[in-house]
Amino acid sequence: MSEYITVSSASLHNFLERVLSPYELLPEVLSALTTHLVEANLCGMDSHGLQQIFGYVKSLENGRINPKPQIQINSKRPAMVRIDGDGAPGHYAGKVAMETAITQATNLGMAVVGVNNSNHFGMAGYYTRMAATAGMIGFATSDTNAVDLAPYGGRVAKIGNNPISVGIPTLTSHPIVLDMATGTVSGGKIKHFKYQGLPIPEGWGITATGQPTQNPKDVAVNLPASYKGAGLAFITDLLCGPLLGTAASMFKQKSIHDAANGTGHLFWVLDIEAWTEREEFMQQVEKAIASLKETPLLDEKQPIYYPGELEAITRENRLVAGIPVPRSLVDELKDVFGEELN
């Protein structure tokens, strides 16, 4: 098992800015990317935080990520907006898209925003939390930068391990934020087990030859969370590809850096006030949360959390106590970027 160091969110933010400074990202693009990565680590979503920087820098160097994107917002109908991300980091394109969706939903009651020509957008829950914080219901999904998930019963990757997230506002509790991979776990979580020096549980992934493995270094194909997860992954591939005028992930060539082969995202926002009284709705949500937590426990040591609650608690704790980072990851960062994280 790896040793850990503990860093503050400010130190992590500064480190990321130093690593990215040679690539001259637009200030608003840099802010969106670094803020998102730090938030991922604060929430305990370490799979989508600091360790992702290797891939993003590689994409900046090979031209897949455009450091100075000129995002184009095109609306054919008021409640349906199309955005060309111009090769932006998905964290920036996704932020612009969700802000647009919230604005349009405020005016129209509901809005759907699709993004193509983008890149990996990090935590899907980051965007639905934006909607929930605005007092609305949000949905977010994306295809992925790699086809890495086998269909149910298969041993070759054909679909993306795509995320699905729903955010719902509450009255006094933390927002409800469901954020899930359609695989048993995300590919990033498997990689984080590698940095922690831990074996992965059975059923998370298989080798290139289709053999089960518990060594995170040997995983070549992620496995779906049952036939239901595989079905959701396939559906989201279609929503974030053909619906947005490109292809399903299995046909995209990630080595080609153009709009047709870029990553797609889909966001949907509903203004509760268009359907019912917002405060009354949130009161009902609070009652449902309270009832959920009154459920008799199978294990007295394992409390019941509603979606997003554990991440919110982790964030509060890490803001005070700091963010744990595996020493092996710190060493690799120093070797690759020549920067010390402390």
Span 260-280, pLDDT tens digits: 889 999 999 999 999 999 999
43 located within any domain: no
Query: Which structural domain, as residue segments, surrounds residue 200?
Result: 70-318
277 located within any domain: yes
In what side-by-side order are the strands of the sheet with 176-181?
A: 72-77, 80-84, 110-118, 263-271, 136-142, 163-168, 176-181
User: In angstroms, rounded to a whole number, what is the distance separating the alpha carbons of residues 308 and 167?
Assistant: 9
pLDDT for the residue 190: 87
pLDDT for the residue 77: 86
Q: For the chain, what is the mean pLDDT?
A: 95
Strands (DSSP E) along the chain, which ranges?
A: 4-7, 72-77, 80-84, 110-118, 136-142, 163-168, 176-181, 205-206, 221-222, 263-271, 323-326
pLDDT at residue 182 tops 90: yes
pLDDT for the residue 185: 87
202 located within any domain: yes
Span 35-49, pLDDT tens digits: 999 999 999 999 999
215 located within any domain: yes
309 located within any domain: yes
pLDDT for the residue 88: 98
Span 42-75, pLDDT tens digits: 999 999 999 999 999 999 999 999 999 999 998 8
Instruction: State how many domains the chain has.
Output: 1
pLDDT category at 1 given cuts 50, 70, 90 is low
19 located within any domain: no
CATH number at residue 190: 3.30.1370.60
pLDDT for the residue 26: 98
pLDDT, mean of residues 154-180: 95
pLDDT at residue 333 tops 90: yes
Span 223-268, pLDDT tens digits: 998 999 999 999 999 999 999 999 999 998 877 878 888 999 999 9
183 located within any domain: yes
> What global pTM score does this model have?
0.95
- CA of 55: how far to CAs of 128, 204, 279, in Å? 24, 22, 42
pLDDT category at 342 given cuts 50, 70, 90 is confident
Residues 6 or more apart whose CB falls under 8 angstroms from that of 1 comprise: 196, 197, 198
The helix-helix angle for 27-42 and 9-20 (nearest 10°) equals 140
Span 89-137, pLDDT tens digits: 999 999 999 999 999 999 999 999 999 999 999 999 999 999 999 999 9
pLDDT, mean of residues 208-235: 93
User: In angstroms, rounded to a whole number, what is the distance separating the alpha carbons of residues 38 and 323?
Assistant: 9
pLDDT for the residue 192: 87
139 located within any domain: yes
